[in-house]
């Protein structure tokens, strides 16, 4: 069964450092998403991406965040200058069309120290 692959599974970074979280969506999917789950809280939408541009973003997704699909297979989330409150599990997802085939990766746990 096709999978969304996220790397690394766990990343520790110092406050103020830049991090890039990587995702390989399912190959024929067209829509890509990032979600965040702070420990003990619900999963929150960050951003959706389609046709090489952001289609929707939440208020969490401020100027410190950016997304990119650099090579047609990877989908990355960059946090420019990490803060302690960015510590969370970050989930990537992709879908073929609408909600068809909506699949989550296993997540990257980001710890900012």
Partner 1 sequence: AQSVTQLDSHVSVSEGTPVLLRCNYSSSYSPSLFWYVQHPNKGLQLLLKYTSAATLVKGINGFEAEFKKSETSFHLTKPSAHMSDAAEYFCVVTLNILTGGGNKLTFGTGTQLKVEL
- Residues forming contacts to partner 1 in the complex (CB under 8 A) are 31-33, 35, 41-45, 48-51, 55-56, 91, 93, 95, 97-99, 102-107
When the beta carbons of 31 and 112 are compared against partner 1, the nearer one is: 31
When the beta carbons of 20 and 54 are compared against partner 1, the nearer one is: 54
Rounded least distance, CB 31 to partner 1, Å: 4
Rounded least distance, CB 96 to partner 1, Å: 10
Distance CA 41, CA 80 (A): 23
Rounded least distance, CB 18 to partner 1, Å: 25
Give the C-alpha distances (Å, rounded to integers) separating 107 from 61, 71, 93: 18, 21, 9
Q: Are 52 and 60 in contact (CB under 8 A)?
A: no
Burial class (CB in 10 A: 0-12, 13-18, 19+), 108: buried
């Amino acid at each position: 069964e096709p999978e969304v692959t996220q790397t690394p599974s766990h990343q520790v970074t110092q406050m103020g450092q830049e991090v890039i979280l990587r995702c390989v969506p399912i190959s024929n999917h067209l829509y890509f998403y990032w979600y965040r789950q702070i420990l003990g809280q619900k999963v929150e939408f960050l951003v959706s991406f389609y046709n090489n541009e952001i289609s929707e973003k939440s208020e969490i997704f401020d100027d410190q965040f950016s997304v990119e699909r650099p090579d047609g297979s990877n989908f990355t989330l960059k946090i420019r200058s990490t803060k302690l409150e960015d510590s969370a599990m970050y989930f990537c997802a992709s879908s073929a069309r609408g909600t068809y085939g909506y699949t989550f990766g296993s997540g990257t746990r980001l710890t900012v120290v």
